[in-house]
Amino acid sequence: MSDARVSVRARVSVRARDADLAILPTPLYVDIILIGFFLLLLLRLALVLRSDSFLLSLFTVCLASTIIFSKIIAHVASSAGQCISKCRTGLHVPQDCRDPLHTHLKQRKFADQAWQIAIHASMTLCEIYLLFGKTWLNNPASCFEPCPSVYAVSAESTELESGASDVKQHELELRVFYILQLAIWVWTGFSCCALESRRKDYVEMMLHHNLTVMCILFSFINGELAIGLVVLFVHDCSDIVLDLMKMFNYLKLEDSHGWFLTEITFCLNLMSWMYFRLYYFPVYVFYYGSYIGYAANCGADDLSGTFDRCLSAGSCFHSGLGLLLLACLHWVWFYMLLRIAYKLLCTKKNASAIGREEYEGQSESDNEKKEN
């Protein structure tokens, strides 16, 4: 009887802490830097939008639509996830993998991942549509023909209207898409730092969101829409497999009782990560596109060195620096993936346990076990 009371009290205590972070809080000074930088980017975005009523209205509509869309997807996914979770209670399912979404925190993580995969999938389709008939993906250097300065957008000169006769249809669609992406990433950054349960790579994720907002915003301001579209496509399409892997991991669809779905998507994610993030992005997008292509097509004619031409070519150097930082983050996450792969192959731990160690951090179920 006494043990039962302790167990009940422990479960109540866990529920009371449900709003707490899944891992130890980030140091205050790190949070201040990350969130402060995010707020500075929002201020710069506001300065760009304030002088153009169309862009401001479009951003507001896109942001509201993103929030509503994410909430709907999260609600539907939470309900669907709970149904799937409750079905995983048979004798063929190990005890620690039964009803994997039995806590509110786990349901929230699953729902957060669901709206992200919906965003990534829908944005990938939009990017395929905008890339169709263009050479930008096969030859990123062609993104700078003509130079971005021709299409540069600034707070002082922006007058983009749906009926503008001097803007080609594709350019208009591309700029509207950029505003949508800004709205999505502003909401994603806010959700990461204020709404979602924090994971072990919170600092890397928030830094990534800051860099993404910065790159999208300044490529929009500087007219670097073509190369920006390629960058967005590389990240969005490869994130789909990553999102699937995380959702399967939350449902503990691993080993033979889960049809090895977590392990299969992990392998697919590892391959797509190596190709898109570690090969195509740094070699073709960054080096041949943003560096060589930008300098060759837009650098000063009286300069011969690639680096000197890049410095003279608008925002070539600054844009390249942002992309280089993103490339470095790709290697940080790849190291995490390799650690997971090593533990999958060389230890007896299951995929969900390894995910908690390397990525998720402490969960509610861990707290329950400790207190019981």
340: number of Cβ within 10 Å: 20
- Residue 266: inside a domain: yes
pLDDT band, very low/low/confident/very high, at 343 (cuts 50, 70, 90) = confident
Taking residues 236-247, what's their average pLDDT?
A: 92
What is the three-state SS of 321-364? HHHHHHHHHHHHHHHHHHHHHHHHHHCCCCHHHHHHHHHHCCCH
CA distance 137 to 226: 9
- Residue 352: inside a domain: yes
pLDDT, tens digit, 9 for 90 and up, residues 146-155:
777 665 543 3
**How many domains does the chain contain in total?**
1
Please report, for residues 95, 341, 354, 358, 359, the alpha-carbon distance to residue 337 in angstroms, rounded to integers and kept in the order given: 26, 6, 11, 9, 9
pLDDT of residue 87: 86
pLDDT of residue 19: 38
pLDDT, tens digit, 9 for 90 and up, residues 49-72:
888 888 899 999 999 999 999 999
CA distance 130 to 15: 46
pLDDT at 302 over 80: no
Distance from the Cα of residue 7 to its chain's centroid: 38
pLDDT band, very low/low/confident/very high, at 161 (cuts 50, 70, 90) = very low
Residue-range definition of the domain harbouring residue 236: 49-371
Query: Tokens for 38?
Result: 């995010």
Higher-confidence residue of 230 and 313: namely 230
Residue whose pair of structure tokens reads 């509503």 in the numeric block: 68
pLDDT band, very low/low/confident/very high, at 315 (cuts 50, 70, 90) = confident
pLDDT band, very low/low/confident/very high, at 361 (cuts 50, 70, 90) = low
221: number of Cβ within 10 Å: 19
pLDDT, tens digit, 9 for 90 and up, residues 210-231:
888 988 998 888 888 889 999 9
- Residue 239: inside a domain: yes
pLDDT of residue 152: 56
pLDDT at 179 over 90: yes
- Residue 26: inside a domain: no
> Of the given ranges (19-33, 216-230, 281-295, 328-342), which has the lowest mean pLDDT?
19-33
**Over the chain, what is the mean pLDDT?**
80
pLDDT, tens digit, 9 for 90 and up, residues 261-278:
888 999 999 999 999 999
Taking residues 74-83, what's their average pLDDT?
A: 91
pLDDT band, very low/low/confident/very high, at 124 (cuts 50, 70, 90) = very high
- Residue 153: inside a domain: yes
CA distance 327 to 321: 10
Taking residues 173-179, what's their average pLDDT?
A: 91
| First and final C-alpha spacing in the chain | 14
Question: What's the predicted TM-score (pTM) here?
Answer: 0.82
> Of the given ranges (90-99, 153-162, 272-281), which has the lowest mean pLDDT?
153-162
pLDDT of residue 304: 78
pLDDT at 206 over 70: yes
- Residue 4: inside a domain: no
Beta strands in the chain (DSSP E): none
For residue 199, the SS3 value is coil
> Of the given ranges (4-18, 76-90, 257-271), which has the lowest mean pLDDT?
4-18
pLDDT of residue 173: 86
CA distance 174 to 180: 10
Please answer whether residues 90 and 45 qualify as being in contact, where contact means their C-beta atoms are separated by less than 8 angstroms.
no
pLDDT of residue 129: 93
Contacts 24+ apart (CB under 8 A), 322-326: 322/211, 322/214, 322/215, 322/218, 323/215, 323/231, 323/281, 323/285, 323/286, 323/290, 324/286, 325/211, 326/208, 326/211, 326/212, 326/215, 326/231, 326/281
The DSSP code sequence of 26-72 is PPHHHHHHHHHHHHHHHHHHHHHHTT-HHHHHHHHHHHHHHHHHHHH
Please report, for residues 4, 19, 339, the alpha-carbon distance to residue 10 in angstroms, rounded to integers and kept in the order given: 10, 16, 33
- Residue 31: inside a domain: no
pLDDT of residue 222: 86
- Residue 198: inside a domain: yes
CA distance 159 to 170: 16
pLDDT at 24 over 80: no
Please report, for residues 76, 183, 256, the alpha-carbon distance to residue 216 in angstroms, rounded to integers and kept in the order given: 30, 11, 42
Angle at 91 between CA 86 and CA 92, to 5 degrees: 95
Distance from the Cα of residue 261 to its chain's centroid: 22
Higher-confidence residue of 324 and 202: namely 324
pLDDT band, very low/low/confident/very high, at 197 (cuts 50, 70, 90) = low
